[in-house]
Structure 1
Amino acid sequence: MDTESHPPARPLPARALPGRPPSGGASALRPAVTELRLSAFGPHRGRTLPLAALTLLTGPSGCGKSSALSAYEALARLASGDRLRRAFPDPGRCVPERADADAQGRRGFRIGCTADGPAGPVRLDLAVQAEPELRIVGERLTCGGRTLLATALRDPRRPSVEAAWHTAGSARMTRAPLPDDRLGTALLPLRVAGRTEGQLRVLAAAEQTVVALRSAFCCDPQPPGMRGPVPLEDGLLRRGCDNLAEVLHRTRAQCTGRHARLAAAARAGCAGDVVDLAVEELADGTVRALLARGGRRGPTPLGRLGDGELRYLALALVLLTGPGVLAMDQPAEVPAACQSLTVLADGFDRCLDPRQARELVSLAAEMAGRGQVRLAGAVADASFARGVAGVTVVDLVS
């Protein structure tokens, strides 16, 4: 996920997080978003979406599947330090269609999430004014029934909100202004000293929420961009997967076990006698990906494949490779054992036939069962996934 540069949050080791004691191995230390709240956002009003390790949102066109995932992505961007305008480039579309303006001509929207982890379930709720100007007008962070951070717009003439956070010291609350175009929760690690039990609790809740949200990779493979040779650069798979060949070049050399699993997925989802996924280095320094075939048939350049096969291979690669080869803003100051990867995939089943879709969701269920990935996807028809162990289907009604 591309973001502007921003100061890093101060790390708080998982062992120092107050709240629930870690249990169940490393996966218990990995914060994850388990609920998305769309109180007033686009077509949604008062909607709460549970997010399991593998969740597919389904429903008719216009029911708000894409809107829900865009709200998740916006929260992820804010947690990564992005300003409000970058997280919501078209804020007018986020305002509920029939929302009336108040006496001052203001309209807005409200979203939130719950992040679970060592500190217990932490709720983040955000109220955003979209008109006449984009700004955060209220933010609340709560844990265990206690409000740890609350912000409010007191003076519309100033580009700030009044913030108050729990300290449990000689002064039970600390008050200070925060910018009205950034997520206050993401700024708390730079503001809270962490000396008292109350301050540690605030830090634990804020950092758990930020880590959970920043662990998102938004993936939307675009087949036209995946067909040609690509240069060797940083080896990180981009959102549109246009540099698929470059990433295959890297994973084939560095992740032989997962590459073998990817080749098995290619055999299951691509036509013909597929033996392997290969990469050819061209004279101009670029690389192109190939499907190696059995028998006398030569390799097939991926550029000759249909859109469905290309999307299938790209999504399989994302599910198998992990955050180390994805172009996303992982919190580098947090140990890998305390991070998870959540893939956001709008149109997860786009261009796929039922066999490919079922193979892909089975692969996602396998990786989610290992605790290596979470998936929130939007599909037009979830019939291919019903009955697959580990899959949660959420039906949206327009």
Structure 2
Amino acid sequence: MDPTRAPVGADDRPALSELRLSSFKSHRRAVLPLSPFTVFAGPSGSGKTSALQAYTALARLGGGERVGTAFPDASGCVPERARPDPQGRRGFRIGCTVDGPVGSVRLDVAVQAEPELRVVGERLTSGGQILLSTALRDPARRTVQAAWHTAGSVPVTRAPLPDDRLATALLPLRVAGKTVGQRLVLAAAEQVVVALRSVFACDPRPERMRVPVPLGAGRLHGGCGNLAEVLLRTREECGTRHAALIAASRAGCAGAVEDLAAQELTDGTVRAVLDRGALGITPVGRLGDGELRYLALALVLLTGPGVLDMEPVAEVLPALQAMTVLADGFDRCLDRRQVRELLSLAVRMGERGHVRLVGAVQDRAPAEGVAGVSVVDLGV
């Protein structure tokens, strides 16, 4: 069976339906709708990259990472015209909506970037009901006061939580799930965390794919520099998907493509090669930047969490998770034909319900010609 043409059933996999940039870099009160296949379009400076940075940061927070890791340049995320309060504090606010079995769940986060980086406020809501809220009560303490819905003998439970992590990601460790209210809180938090953690951010770097690489764990990095190593693994493990990758390569690369393989060298490294049929073997290092980025993005769309360097929620079955590929500069170095081929491949893979895509493009025209792809124009 062609892996890009599998039937679709009822799909309750948690997924983001909206990204909110209330006050983040150049964005003010921005509400960006997200479909299964969304591209942010607009000229340079319209905020495409910053929108993907906010999404990536939320994903890291959802994975339990500290706020300093999620926002390595937190001061640069503060809107340029934001003025400090009398205590010298400045920050930013972002959020998202996640649809899934619980319905629509909203997460909103307020981050203080200066003078100290910390999460100063968070709210998790569903159906108009506040399930979790946090607030900074004492700036001298490295905690926030959290309150979550209980609906038992005590309607709300209050406790201090660290101010450097997302409280929503910590709830499973703090909530027992004994009451109906607690179970609702846990279900909503799990829905958000599953959607946020099921993210693979990638920006293929052609210069890294041109040189042989040592053998490793066989998991594709975000820059795709270890493409050859991963090809060695995927070619052996799944012939059907590898055949789909070859078909995609023919559509996006110039000249004949009979096979795409990894060639082990005498020094223990491996390089990727194209079998050109009668023309012989060509190292992929000889390809143009656009062809290399095309190959890497096609491989990402045709694989999954087991091959990509990402950590989805281990406690939830893979069939209940939808991987979201975040691709900044999705059309960089690509011609319109290649962009259309990749978007069409994403849509075909998405028919299985396992893959979503959010990318940033300079030229919206190729995306507008692909059924199923939504264009969010940030230049308007």
Question: 1:68-217 maps to which residues of 2 (within 5 A)?
Answer: 68-217=51-200
Matched, 1:228 2:211: yes
Write the distance in 2 (CA, Å) between the matches of 1:75 and 1:273: 42
1:383 to 345, 365, 368: 365
The aligned amino acid for 2:378 is: L
| Partner in structure 2 of residue 14 of structure 1 | none
Is residue 305–residue 311 contact of structure 2 (8 Å, CA) maintained in 1?
no
| Partner in structure 1 of residue 4 of structure 2 | none
Write the distance in 2 (CA, Å) between the matches of 1:197 and 1:28: 25
2:257 to 270, 274, 290: 274
1:28 CA drift (Å):
2.1
| Partner in structure 2 of residue 18 of structure 1 | none
| Partner in structure 1 of residue 356 of structure 2 | 374
Is residue 109–residue 123 contact of structure 2 (8 Å, CA) maintained in 1?
yes
1:71 CA drift (Å):
0.2
Matched, 1:46 2:29: yes
1:81 CA drift (Å):
0.9
Is residue 263–residue 270 contact of structure 2 (8 Å, CA) maintained in 1?
yes
Is residue 11–residue 353 contact of structure 2 (8 Å, CA) maintained in 1?
no
| Partner in structure 2 of residue 397 of structure 1 | 379
After superposition, the Cα gap between the structure-2 partners of 1:231 and 1:389, relative to the gap in structure 1 and judged at 3 Å, is: same
1:279 CA drift (Å):
1.6
Write the distance in 2 (CA, Å) between the matches of 1:27 and 1:391: 20
What's the Cα RMSD here? 1.2
The aligned amino acid for 1:348 is: F
| Partner in structure 2 of residue 34 of structure 1 | 17
In the superposition, the TM-score normalised over structure 1's length comes to 0.92
Identity of aligned residues (%): 69
Write the distance in 1 (CA, Å) between the matches of 2:32 and 2:89: 27
Is residue 67–residue 118 contact of structure 2 (8 Å, CA) maintained in 1?
yes
Residue 29 of structure 1 aligns to a residue in which SS?
A: coil
Write the distance in 1 (CA, Å) between the matches of 2:8 and 2:194: 18
1:268-327 per-residue CA deviation (whole Å, 9 max, x = no partner) reads: 1101111110221112222111111122x1110011111110000000000001111000
Write the distance in 2 (CA, Å) between the matches of 1:346 and 1:113: 19
Is residue 8–residue 351 contact of structure 2 (8 Å, CA) maintained in 1?
no
| Partner in structure 1 of residue 314 of structure 2 | 332
Q: Where in structure 1 do 4 or more consecutive aligned residues deviate above 6 Å?
A: none
Residue 291 of structure 1 aligns to a residue in which SS?
A: strand
Is residue 293–residue 299 contact of structure 1 (8 Å, CA) maintained in 2?
yes
Is residue 107–residue 122 contact of structure 2 (8 Å, CA) maintained in 1?
yes
Residue 384 of structure 1 aligns to a residue in which SS?
A: helix
Write the distance in 2 (CA, Å) between the matches of 1:346 and 1:27: 30
| Partner in structure 2 of residue 10 of structure 1 | none
| Partner in structure 2 of residue 312 of structure 1 | 294
5+ residue gaps in structure 2?
1-6
Write the distance in 1 (CA, Å) between the matches of 2:64 and 2:121: 17
1:213 CA drift (Å):
0.2
Is residue 26–residue 337 contact of structure 1 (8 Å, CA) maintained in 2?
no
Matched, 1:348 2:330: yes
The aligned amino acid for 1:48 is: V
The aligned amino acid for 1:346 is: D
1:25 CA drift (Å):
7.3
Is residue 27–residue 338 contact of structure 1 (8 Å, CA) maintained in 2?
no
Write the distance in 1 (CA, Å) between the matches of 2:350 and 2:79: 34
Residue 218 of structure 2 aligns to a residue in which SS?
A: coil
After superposition, the Cα gap between the structure-2 partners of 1:231 and 1:321, relative to the gap in structure 1 and judged at 3 Å, is: same
Is residue 19–residue 33 contact of structure 2 (8 Å, CA) maintained in 1?
yes
Write the distance in 2 (CA, Å) between the matches of 1:245 and 1:264: 18
Write the distance in 1 (CA, Å) between the matches of 2:10 and 2:100: 9
| Partner in structure 1 of residue 43 of structure 2 | 60
Count of aligned pairs between the two proteins: 374
1:318-341 per-residue CA deviation (whole Å, 9 max, x = no partner) reads: 000111100012111111111110
Is residue 27–residue 337 contact of structure 1 (8 Å, CA) maintained in 2?
no
1:56 CA drift (Å):
0.3
